[in-house]
Structure 1
Amino acid sequence: MRLTASSKWIGRKWRPRLATVVVAILIMVMALPLVGLFFFRLYENQLIRQTEAELIAQGAAIAAIYARDVRDAGIPPEKLGAPMPEPSGDSSRSVNPDPLYRPIEPQLDLASDYVLPTRPAAMPVIVDPAFAVIGARLSGILDATQKTTLAGFRLLDPRGVVIAGRGEVGQSLSAVEEVRTALAGHYASALRLRIPDQPTPPLYSVSRGTKVRVFVALPVAVDGQVAGVVYVSRTPNNIIKHLYGERGKVTLAAIAILGGTLLIGLIFLRTVSRPIYALIDRTERIAAGDRTAIRPLDHHGTREMAELSAAFLDMAEKLQARSDSVQTFATHVSHELKSPLTAIQGAAELLRDSGGAMDDAERRRFSNNIVTDAGRLNLLVRRLLDLARAENLAPSGESTSLGAALSLLPVD
């Protein structure tokens, strides 16, 4: 049959399975928010790193000025702090093995660093007069720099006492963890909560940048010893505010996500929805008697839909063929039944209308005709019952031989 051949051709053509399409769509839909969260996480971490890098640059400039003033003041070595450690050649913070250069790379990471509590309060102590003079001279520079960079500057002596900085001059910050590290000659940075008495957020959020403050402590080296610490802090940029500044790029990203979502919808529509609706329409047309609807769909989409369409159309063609066979059979049966019925009716009418004028021989002949035609009808009915019984045995799945089937037929 033409339909069967086309069905085999449909089966040979590669198409994705319906399960594959559904799984792919689900994975893509689930990946969209995950990609968005990953983007926000990376972007927020980048803002933290950017803030740390800016504080390192500002602190290095202040440290160079402070180291020059310490040398010019002629402060003796016994008033300086711990010796500076030798740079490690395999240190991840050093990008240049040349001992003349000691670059410091940002190291804060939202994924691995804990957010520390708010900075401990400074403790009042006695300031060394020599360092107090240097601090007073640099206070104007720190104030002018802070107005531009919006960073908080604290200049500490070798004991961790603030000698320059707003509001905490003459107080010690040596109890602060990052300050202790810097007094030992190592660079240190930390993320601390901005608002006092606020619990550490259990999850990283988009607005976390507004809840934390970046602290950077740079040791100041003079003649191989720690002469003090530049302690700088600033709140990183809010990610929402920053994204608003980059709204053009954000808009393009939103358009890309929307386009991806629409693409998913079009794929699902073409591979699943359209073939299903086309098959439903084809079913309604076949049920209404449209023989031209018994043909393959124009587009199947998936392998399962192609197989379903082929099986359905094959079934429709077989049902249509059976309907034609039943119609033809009914025509032949009605013709076979009409002949003996007509004979019986004619003989009965003659017997009824003859009255006593018909002799015994004629009456017997017409009676024999009635009996003969009734026998023909009885035989025809039995054969119809045998045919119906044979057709009903077909769906049982049993098998038989042609000889066994012929032996069951009545022999006239």
Structure 2
Amino acid sequence: MSVSNGRQFLGIPGPTNVPDAVLSAMHRPAVDIRKGELVEITQQIKEDLKMITRSSGMPFLFIANGHGAWEAALTNVLSRGDKVLVLESGSFAVGWGEAGARLGLDVEVLGGSYQRAVDPDALEARLKADTAGEIKAILVVQVDTASSVLNNIPALRRAIDNAGHAALFLVDTIASLGTMDYRMDEWGVDVTVSACQKGLMMSPGVSFVVASEKAMERHQTADLRTAYWDWTGRLAPEHYRSYAGTPPVHHLFGLQKSFEMIRAEGLEAIFERHRLLAGATRAAVGKWAEKGEFSFNITAPEERANSVTTVLLRNGDTLPAIHDYCLEKCGLVIGVGIAALTGKAMRIAHMGHVNAPMMLGTLATLEMSFKALGIPHGEGGITAAVEYLAAHVPR
């Protein structure tokens, strides 16, 4: 017996659910890639990227996932042998650094924890010790999808400034852009990296970089530049050069619609929706944790992301049963723990095209699986989530 017949729901932290309106926007014939409508769409998407990153910087689009944008960011501002400092708070900044090491960069990791945000004081101390200015760039994520930590980007910028250091500040916003506040110019970020498949509600395949004036200056002397990723080549006047070849036509149609939806809802309303749905999720997890089987991976409430919640299990052996039950019996795909948390955690996404029925359904299905499988958990998680939303969403 199952109750899974119907539309399967994707509860993972990327790719996220693509709205029907976006799917429909892609369902049309291709058009001329050299002039006309597609040129206008590309220009509008670039303006939308400046809007959502709150930046006056230079946007670039890549036919690639987020790992491609990582490489694009590094190769355009750095040279072989340059030292970069990676700020660890989970898996993804470290992964970005590993990609840099393969390119020939000298990578140093400022050790951190999967349970806490990056410590600005530790960053400031390390930069003050770098009296020779060997560190050329600092890599960090705003939200780490593995740990679900939220890093304080303005505080990290202040640490760099307090140290009087000239390193470029590179921030990965793949798991945060379009779900919470981000202010590239105001926060002094030199390169912003993102991708379309999470908060931007689009099928994977396009990623982005926005470069500050300082980053564009460093680009002029970078010797890791390659033909495909090179920013200079993508600034040529011919439209196809923006993509180093044929544009991703139907992805652009979809992104155009995604940004139309974002503008219609408004950034502040989007951020508030994510905050509320994250709060409901945390209310449920807090109740489930009362029996000791479940716990928040991020210990400090103020460091928990509004896009994803990572939940630790004392007995990881029950995870496959939870995932299988949710999928096979109920039609819900729930996120698995990854990297150091493989086999130890589940990840509940609340990002992108998601509302209260979607989120409450996800949480209720999880609680249903705990009951059906006999997994110890505190009662009343769904009631707590409903009460949270009822208290915070006015009539």
TM-score using structure 1 length: 0.18
Larger radius of gyration: 1
Decide which structure has greater helix share. Answer: 1
Question: When you count strand as a share of all residues, which structure comes out higher?
Answer: 2
